[in-house]
Structure 1
Amino acid sequence: MRYVTRKVVLFVLTFWAALTLNFALPRLMPGSPLDAALGNLQANGVQVTNAMRDAMAAQLGGAEGNWLSQYFSYLGNTLRLNFGTSFSFPTQTVSHTILQALPWTVCLVGVTTIIAFVLGTLLGVYAGWRRGTAADSTVTLGATLFSAFPPFWFGMLLLYVFAFKFQIFASQGGYSPGLTPNLSLSFLSDAVQHSILPAVTLTVTSLSGWVFGMRNNMINTLGEDYVTFAEANGLRSRTIALLYAARNAMLPNITAFGLSLGAVVGGSVLVEGIFGYPGLGNLLYIAVLNHDYPLMQALFLVITVSMLVTIFVVDLLYVRFDPRVRREVIA
């Protein structure tokens, strides 16, 4: 119980620090975030009224008063999930804009993260178990080759070959122009067709990290006494590799996988930007270009909260997977 209490207190303190930093950063930048936002709207031909100025000031925490009063106003708006109106999408609230993009990122980056984790872990187990053989060399060389490809470069290569040259897959967007997002089979098949290239890009370029991490963990675990004891008892190689070595070697990968799932909500800014995919990564790219402070603040907050929640869940899962942590909890 004390272990869980410590984790909860740490979660609350870290969340408060993230909120405070999210409030302070725009105000530490040169100039006023409100003036920058209003100037951006005027440059795009939008007539700025006093009511619009007051609304923008409110969503930035209030332009009037000292920082302390602005800070409490900002905290109140955040707890009510009132992030105001996006400057980049003035007809929508920030919350609505994020909720529209969130499912696209979760489906694309979430699925590719899981696929890369499973494939990379299995390949790492195989390479570690067959260390020093041709199979090990093939896996590690292949992982090394793909790790040298920056995601944005590999994505542009796939675009040129499969979208522009052979025109097999769509080049931009999450679905064909003219379609309205829904759960019909025709729309879902169209969305899947648009997501293949960015999914392949994310999977291939992130696979190597899982392969090398699991291979190194496997090699270290294979030197443990309990593995030698299992081999001396005549257990099958597959049983030793999967139930003895891989099970214990996976603990560091579980932590990394949890952090990767937390980062899913942030999307992949470069990859989503290249493919024009309507996810949070592309949304963050648009917000930065337009100096859209309300949208940036809300996106940073969503990304931070997702990371904190994932780390908290991983800490609790470690009680189940790691006997050393379980003994600490019991003690």
Structure 2
Amino acid sequence: MKFYVRRITFYVITLWAAISLNFALPRLMPGDAMSTMIARMGRSGDIPESTLRSIELLFGNPDESSLWEQYVAYLGQLFRGDLGVSVTKYPAPVTELIGQALPWTIGLVGLATVISFVLGVGAGAFVGWKRGTWVDSFVPASTLLQAVPYFWLAMIFVYLFAVTNRWFPIAWNYDPFSFSGPELSWAFVGSVVYHGTLPALTIVISSFGGWLLGMRNMMVATLSEDYVTTAEAKGLKRSRILTTYAARNAALPSMAGFSIALAFVVAGSIVTEQVFSYPGLGKLMITAVQGNDYALMQGTFLVITIAVLAANFLMDLIYGFIDPRTRHNG
């Protein structure tokens, strides 16, 4: 019980620190972020009063309130789900833009991360089990693929499979000429899968090697443990030793790594989304940076931070359940 109390306390404090940092960043930057944002929107008389109030709460108005009053008002704004208004997509609220981009990032990057993890850990367990044989030749090949930069591999795929051979589309998340927007139909699902194949393949190939190498090395170390030797001496089936004794224990460090990878799914594969013009959270972040859209930058940063903390917290709970040593040492 103490383990879970400590973990909950840690994540609550970390979340508060992240929110406070999100509040402080625009106020620490040189210049006046609020005036810059209003100037980009146009004359203040043309901006609705509610929008001006939202901007003041987001970036502060030192002429009207103290820093502490701004902080309290900012927290109240966050609890109401108000992240301000985007400059680059004015007058769209930041929450609306993030809500539109987030499902696409989770669907693409999340699914690709899960696929690469399952394939990498499974292949790594097999390669480690067959250590010293020809199967070990997969290790340098997969490591080489992992060393290839995401953006370079993405551009190669675009050139080979989209430009030269036209097997896949160059950009977008679905065919905008066939569908005016998302809909519940098999044709739309097929279009989404068709447009997401190349970006997903880029992520899987780039990250597959890391899972394989890590699992293979842990399998080699686990197979030398006494409990595996005892299981072999008892004459247990090799398939049972592989799954129950070796792979199950060797996969624990990979599970911890998977929690970190899964946490950053929300951030998206920024470069990959940019290359394929995929409308996820990563591309939205690039748009915010390029347009000096402070509200959108703050919003995406906050959502990514909360997602990372939530994923790590969930994995901490799961890891503490499957490995009792963590509860006693954590």
TM-score by length of 2: 0.93
Map of 1:145 onto structure 2:
144
Aligned residue in 2 for 1:57: 55
Indicate yes or no: 2:263 matched with 1:262: yes
Per-residue CA deviations over 1:158-179 (Å, capped at 9, x if unaligned) read 0001111011111011111232
2:28 is matched with 28
Structure-1 residue corresponding to 2:199: 198
Contact 1:56 1:85 in 2 (8 A): yes
Please name the residue that 2:100 is paired with.
100
- Tell me the distance in 2 between the aligned counterparts of 1:205 and 1:130: 24
Could you tell me which residue of structure 2 aligns to residue 124 of structure 1?
A: 124
Secondary structure of the residue aligned to 1:49 is helix
Shift of 1:38: 3.4
| 2:253 maps to amino acid | P
TM-score (norm 1): 0.93
Q: Distance in 1 between matches of 2:54 and 2:79?
A: 18
Indicate how the Cα distance of structure 1 residues 186 and 222 shifts in structure 2: closer, same or farther if over 3 A, else same.
same
Query: Does the CA contact (< 8 Å) of 2:84 and 2:295 recur in 1?
Result: yes
Q: Alpha carbons of 1:25 and 1:77: their partners in 2 closer, same or farther (altered >3 Å)?
A: same
Q: CA deviation at 1:99?
A: 0.7
Alpha carbons 2:151, 2:271 under 8 Å: kept: yes
Sequence identity (%): 43
SS at the partner of 2:117?
Answer: helix
Which residue matches 1:6? Answer: 6
1:291 offset after TM fit, Å? 1.0
- Displacement of 1:59 in angstroms is 4.5
Would you say the 8 A contact 2:3–2:327 is kept in 1?
no
> How far 1:48 sits from its partner (Å)?
4.3
Please state how far the C-alpha of 1:233 moved relative to its aligned partner: 1.4
Over the residues paired in the alignment, what is the CA RMSD in angstroms?
Answer: 1.7
The reply on whether 1:283 has 2:288 as its aligned counterpart is no
2-structure distance, mates of 1:59, 1:196: 42
Further displaced range: 248-257 or 28-37: 28-37
Partner AA of 2:128 in structure 1: G
Task: String of CA shifts for 1:177-230, please: whole Å, max 9, x gaps.
Answer: 232211211111111111011000011101111111111111111111001111
Distance 1:165 1:197 in 2: 14
Match in the other structure for 1:249: 250
CA contact (8 A) 2:228 2:246 kept: yes
CA contact (8 A) 1:57 1:63 kept: no
Superposition pairs of residues 1-331 of structure 1, within 5 angstroms: 1-41=1-41, 46-49=42-45, 51=47, 54-55=52-53, 57-64=55-62, 65-137=65-137, 139-178=138-177, 179=179, 180-326=181-327
Equivalent-residue separation in structure 2 for 1:47 and 1:101 (angstroms): 29
CA distances 1:48-101 after superposition (whole Å, capped 9, x unpaired): 437457345325242233322222221111111111211111132111111111
CA distance in 2 between counterparts of 1:239 and 1:258 reads 27
- Asked whether the equivalents of residues 143 and 210 of structure 2 are also in contact (C-alpha less than 8 Å), the reply is no
Alpha-carbon distance change, 188 to 17 in structure 1, aligned in 2, over 3 angstroms: same
Size of the aligned set, in residue pairs, is 324
5+ residue gaps in structure 2? Answer: none
